[in-house]
Amino acid sequence: MSQTMLEGVRIIDMTTMIFGPYCTQMLADLGADVIKVEAPAGDLMRIAGNPAKTPGMGPAFVTTNRGKRSVVLDLKQEQGRRALAALLGDADVFIHNVRADAIARLGFDYASVKALRPDIIYAHCVGFGSGGPYAGLQAYDDVIQAASGMTDLVGRYDGDGRPRYVPSVIADKVGALYASQAVLAAVVHRLRSGEGQQVEIPMFETFTQFLFQEHLFGQTFQPPTSEEAGYFRQLDPHRNPFPTADGHISIVPHNDHCWLTLLDLLGCPELTERPEFSGQPERRANISLLYKEMAQRTPQKTTAEWMTLCRTASIPAMPVCPFDRVLEDQHLWATGLFQRRRHPSEGDYVEMPLPTRFSARAPRPARPAPHLGQHTDEVLAEYKITEPPR
């Protein structure tokens, strides 16, 4: 069997919750040997969310920790710290989300780990960047959504005004994507130069950059070309899925030709005779009014009828899928995003491998998420550690 993309890269993963574990899960999917070091109580996500089939194997833990080996070390004990030092001495990457002062007290700050392995890639997942006044503060997804402006954006969008969270651990997952990118870049740098380095991935900054890619908008320029940040198209309260005779549909007339074609399909080409819709600049400036006109007319046909018309006219469109029916989507099963696998203790479960495809070296199916400490003896034997470190 051919090697995977990250074959031979060993990662010591001392992260918990979603931010770090989702990052290292993606690296494990690419073939890295990820050793998840857990405290005796285990990652909190083992018990978070819905009840597990067996203790310590919660659903969110299972989906973000496949492909890893679990080792339990009590770092409050000298034996545990010695064992971790041995693991780090043979590691390519050390990634953790322990606060800087706490990891220093344990003796595993960057300088100390670099002394064990001079070319180590030391990745630190933090809530707030070390250069600012928030450095060292605790951060969770809700906190980052609030600080980044996301909660305000939701209220501004629908006119409700109340700050609200996006119903997803979106800041954690965005941070994980940046973290995996950063680790891979550091690996490439070391392959070229032989040099390791310290990498900091701050959730507040990564999520804010992610959010403001389009929403910086007119504030991009100095002096600003608009009074407020926020991309008007995303904040338009009429930019919603459109009602049909039997459901809802997303229709995106992405250029003026599509708009004119869609107005014909809607049976209202005469709208172009109105001053606010008479030309492309006017239609662009009054797109919110066009959305309202669409919403009044789309109920004339079923979702299937609109899908046929839009596809024939090359207008992007898709039916609105109820959240609990996404798991029935034939395309997602056909392309392998959803796969049914069997866990040795948990039975059948749905797995979501990386959706990216590689023609050279395809990822192999990852080992299922581990039980707490499942691989402690196996890993310690590889390092010839005989004293019990727990």
- Alpha-helix residue ranges (DSSP H) falling in 149-255: 150-158, 170-193, 203-215, 232-235
Question: What does the block give as tokens for 62?
Answer: 């299972």
Mean of pLDDT values over 240-265: 96
**Across 73-127, where does the E strand assignment appear?**
93-96, 121-126
All residues at 6 or more sequence positions from 239 whose CB lies less than 8 Å from its CB, including other chains: 233, 288, 291
What pTM does this model have?
0.94
3-state secondary structure of 343: strand
Tell me the DSSP string of 112-170.
HHHHH-TT-EEEEEESS-TTSTTTT----HHHHHHHHTHHHHHHHHHS--S----SS-H
pLDDT band at 155 (very low <50, low <70, confident <90, very high): confident
Q: What is the pLDDT of residue 48?
A: 86
Is residue 205 packed enough to be buried (19+ CB in 10 Å), middle (13-18) or exposed (0-12)? buried
Give the C-alpha separation, 184 to 268, whole Å. Answer: 52
From 38-47, 224-233, 307-316, 331-340, the region with the lowest mean pLDDT: 224-233
**Domains and their CATH numbers in the chain:** 10-210+330-382 (3.40.50.10540), 242-319 (3.30.1540.10)
pLDDT band at 35 (very low <50, low <70, confident <90, very high): very high
Burial class (CB in 10 A: 0-12, 13-18, 19+), 390: middle
Q: By percentage, how much of the chain surpasses pLDDT 70?
A: 98
pLDDT over 70 at 390, yes or no? no
**Residue 267 predicted with pLDDT over 90:** yes
Q: Mean of the per-residue pLDDT values for the chain?
A: 95
Q: How many CB atoms lie within 10 A of CB 58?
A: 21
Supply 199's token pair: 């990498």
Q: Is the pLDDT of residue 323 over 60?
A: yes
